[in-house]
């Protein structure tokens, strides 16, 4: 039995959940998200709560039960509060700025790296060495943060590069004479 799957998802005030067969649409103050639940999972709405249950005892149904509950819960959280990821730029001359809605970064290359925001994502640069990525889709926010980090990941000798806020970079000892 899935401990996560058994928990009901509370639907806060101001959020409307629409069930159309296996398709779940969640609309809230920050926007709307839609996702189709796999056929092995049954979703029901009652008393301001969403509950998911497997239709049979197959291995796939058990595996998808907790996943489906978490994804629907993330949708409800996203349309009410949203998600945010922070990145830090570490290195001499490494900095970021906004050019309109686009993110422009100087990361030690001979050119600036410009990145347009995907639909539903907003960039903010509170300091030159800090980037904040915000949106309602948890997966998309994490994916955009990972793409930016992949441009210049932190290197182990000096620690220069783009890292998640609070990420600990394992450092190596340099060459000895």
Task: Give the full edge-to-edge strand order of the sheet including 130-135.
Answer: 121-124, 130-135, 83-90, 161-164
Mean pLDDT value across the chain: 94
Bridge partners of residue 103, in order along the sequence: 98, 115
pLDDT at 175: 87
DSSP element (H, E) containing 5? helix 3-6
Predicted TM-score (pTM) above 0.85: yes
Q: Does residue 26 contact residue 33 with C-beta atoms inside 8 Å?
A: yes
Residue 2 has pLDDT above 90, yes or no: no
Tokens of 84: 């945010």
Dump pLDDT digits (tens) for 65-76: 999 999 999 999
Residue 12 has pLDDT above 90, yes or no: yes
Q: Does residue 2 contact residue 62 with C-beta atoms inside 8 Å?
A: yes
**Which residue segments constitute the domains of the chain, with CATH numbers given?**
3-80 (3.90.930.12), 83-164 (3.90.930.12)
**Percent above pLDDT 70 for the chain:** 99
Pairing outcome for strands 161-164 and 83-90? antiparallel
Residue 79 has pLDDT above 70, yes or no: yes
Tokens of 49: 């709560």
Tokens of 132: 């904040």
Tokens of 68: 């489906």
């Amino acid at each position: 039995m899935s401990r996560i799957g058994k928990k009901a998802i509370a639907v806060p005030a101001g959020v409307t959940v629409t069930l159309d067969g296996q398709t779940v649409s969640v609309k809230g103050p920050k926007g709307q998200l839609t996702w189709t639940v796999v056929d092995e999972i049954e979703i029901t709405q009652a008393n301001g709560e969403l509950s998911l249950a497997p239709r049979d005892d197959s291995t796939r149904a058990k595996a998808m039960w907790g996943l489906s509950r978490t994804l629907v819960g993330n949708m409800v959280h996203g349309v009410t509060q949203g998600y945010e990821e922070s990145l830090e730029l570490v290195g001499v001359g490494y900095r970021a700025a906004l050019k309109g809605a686009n993110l422009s970064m100087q990361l030690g290359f001979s050119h600036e790296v410009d990145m347009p925001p995907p639909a539903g994502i907003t960039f903010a640069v509170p300091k030159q060495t800090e980037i904040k990525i915000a949106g309602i889709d948890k997966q998309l926010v994490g994916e955009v943060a990972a793409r930016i980090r992949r441009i210049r990941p932190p290197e182990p000798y000096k620690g220069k590069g783009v890292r998640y806020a609070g990420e600990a970079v394992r450092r190596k000892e340099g060459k000895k004479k």
